[in-house]
């Protein structure tokens, strides 16, 4: 399921409570992280909940380098937000990840107006980490 499918699903759900439950349901489908991957090195700073993100460099069917992301959190809603980020960024080329405007997608999903400021800050901390990983994969990481 791509991000447009997700936008369409959210548009179908009329009440925010239904969307909230859907976000939580999405989180249940995350690829698991090992105990070792729940490490300080993988922890995302700036999130109220505990969040871990890992990435692997892979080759797609055309032989192009892509980043595959996995993540986890101790909060159900945050796990769902991670699932949305995985759909947005995982298995994409680093340059495509950097160019993708997460705020635009979150606005289309209606997330911007329904998340607490702390959740929004955490969400954008995750986006910053993913984009930093993409810059590092390109060899253009900034200090």
Tell me if residue 9 is catalytic.
no
Q: Which of 23, 26, 44, 47 is catalytic?
A: 47
Terminal C-alpha separation, the chain: 35
H or E element that contains 72: strand 65-73
Tokens standing for 62?
């055309």
User: How many CB atoms are closer than 10 A to CB 86?
Assistant: 20
Residue with tokens 């990983």: 133
Query: Which of the residues are catalytic?
Result: 47
């Amino acid at each position: 399921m791509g991000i447009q499918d997700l936008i369409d699903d959210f548009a179908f759900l009329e009440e925010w409570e239904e969307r909230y439950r859907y976000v939580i349901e999405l989180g249940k489908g995350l690829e698991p992280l090992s105990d070792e991957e729940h490490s300080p090195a993988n922890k995302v700073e700036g999130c109220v909940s505990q969040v871990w993100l890992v990435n692997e460099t892979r080759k797609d069917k055309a032989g192009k380098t892509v980043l595959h992301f996995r993540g986890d959190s101790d909060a159900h809603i945050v796990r769902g937000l991670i699932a949305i980020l995985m759909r947005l960024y995982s298995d994409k080329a680093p340059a495509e990840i950097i160019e993708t405007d997460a705020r635009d997608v979150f606005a289309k999903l209606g997330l911007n107006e329904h998340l607490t400021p702390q959740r929004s800050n955490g969400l954008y901390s995750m986006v910053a980490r993913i984009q930093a990983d993409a810059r590092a994969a390109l060899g253009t990481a900034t200090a």
